[in-house]
Homo-oligomer: A and B are copies of this chain.
Amino acid sequence: MNVLLIGATGDVGQAIVQELSSRHHLIQASRATSGSNRVDLRDSRSIYRLLEQHQGLDALIVAASEPHFGPLDQMTGELVREGLEGKLLGQIDAVLAARDLLADRGSVTLTSGLLGEACIRYGACAAAVNGAIEGFVRAAAAEMNRGLRLNVVSPGLLESSTARIGQYFRGFDPIPPARVGRAYARSVEGIETGQIYAVR
């Protein structure tokens, strides 16, 4: 399959590369990528441009964008609106681009996360974003045309992320990255749609 991965350089993205790159033609894109595969989830035109460049894609995976973290007592309406941009609205923009540009019977796989189900300090905005993504996927999957499928993977704390962000997730079981990678394979290579694959 031709698979486009947005967010290839992150911890989750690297787990997906490990799982899929040997079996598929995997195009890796991210904000940190140089050249024509650079993409920023906060800029919907860059998402459309990337998909137009790679016609005939069988699968789009979005694993990019850290959610916004911030204490509730300093939260403002403006910060909340900004916090929704990349991970929530960027992923919805990616679904809309895929709706128009993916090959028939292709699949879109988004990424939510454990916040919302589990709570950590400063995670209210991230929880809102994850809840929104999961609600959107369940409902939008049922309205996709051309046999397109839409799922979401909710990864827990990856073992490969503990050095960087483990301090915010004390007591959470770290997940082997390979397990997270397999959840994306299940979405891309399976037949299900409207599913939330939680890896805990």
Contacts and interface: CB of A to CB of B under 8 A. Distances in A.
Contacts of A122: 143
Contact of A136 (B117, B127, B134): B127
Contact of A75 (B73, B96, B131): B96
A200 to B, nearest CB: 16
Interface residues of A, number: 45
Contacts of A143: 71-73, 121-122, 124
A140 interface: yes
Number of copies: 2
Nearest to A125: B136
B73 A99 contact: yes
Interface stretch (A13-21, A76-84, A160-168, A184-192): A76-84
A151 interface: no
A93 interface: yes
A72 B194 CA distance: 14
A116 B93 contact: no
Contacts of A119: 138-139, 142, 194
A180 to B, nearest CB: 20
B77 A44 contact: yes
Contact of A76 (B73, B96, B116, B133): B96
Nearest to A80: B92
Contacts of A50: none
A39 interface: no
B89 A140 contact: no
Interface in A53-82: 71-73, 75-77, 80-81
Nearest 3 pairs of A and B residues by beta carbon:
A131-B135, A116-B135, A127-B139
Interface of A: 44, 71-73, 75-77, 80-81, 84, 88-89, 92-93, 96, 99, 115-117, 119-136, 138-140, 142-145, 194
29 contacts: A72-B143, A75-B96, A76-B96, A80-B89, A88-B128, A92-B128, A115-B135, A116-B134, A116-B135, A116-B138, A119-B138, A119-B139, A119-B142, A119-B194, A120-B139, A121-B143, A123-B139, A124-B139, A125-B136, A127-B138, A127-B139, A128-B133, A128-B135, A128-B136, A128-B139, A129-B135, A131-B131, A131-B132, A132-B135
